[in-house]
Amino acid sequence: MLWLDLGLCIVCLWGGVSGYLAGWRKISQRLALLIVAAATAAVFQGDMKLFITLHYPVDLAIRTLLINRSAVPVGTMASYPEAVLNSLEIPAWLHPLLVEKATAAATASATGVIDILTMIMVNALSFAAGFALWGGAFQLAGFFRQNHSGVLSNYRGQWGGAIIGVILHIWIFVLIAGAVAPFFWLIPLARELFDPQQAYLFNKALQLFNSTGIWWN
């Protein structure tokens, strides 16, 4: 089993154990906090993206790194978008979507694909920053009060907590994977160590993250 898939299995196992120990009420609060923080980060993603790009030239830096990492000569970038995708080892399931987005933007070329990839990475960074900010703010503000009654959960409550704990940790993995994975395309060592192309569960997590539309906002 590949490292990334093994990591997801370990995360799910830990989620089940922690949910069982915490009980369904407490673990449900954590899941609700995750959902609210992620939704808020997604809603204000555009504002965070504007703030980041106004103060830091991350889009230019990412675009330059993508061009440098791609194995396509600059003079041929107008004709070979697939060559860029293959050289950066972008997951195969994402190729048609990237080309489609570039075509819709009237830039169906390697340069257009790089622009779309740059947008994905800036959006992922903006979401991650917003998620950390809002999640931390909700925690500090006591958005959800913990149950300190000291009453132990009953048997059903513990197994309900285990199920919710698995769901919680799957979504944590999905959100982290979606925010971090695009930057794997820039780091050859990460691809060699984790081989995300061949990680079945990891790619399913990315497809689930892709369905949220966060990469494309």
CA atoms of 180 and 10, how far apart (whole Å): 18
User: The pTM is what?
Assistant: 0.82
CA atoms of 174 and 42, how far apart (whole Å): 14
Q: Each residue of 63-107: pLDDT tens digit?
A: 888 888 776 555 544 455 666 777 777 777 888 888 787 777 655
When pLDDT is cut at 50, 70 and 90, the band that residue 151 belongs to is very low
CA atoms of 210 and 5, how far apart (whole Å): 18
121 residue type, one letter: M
Residue 196 has pLDDT above 80, yes or no: no
Q: Of 103, 133, 132, 97, which is closest to residue 215 (Cα–Cα)?
A: 97
Q: Which residue has the higher pLDDT, 196 or 168?
A: 168
151 residue type, one letter: V
Furthest CA-CA distance within the chain: 69
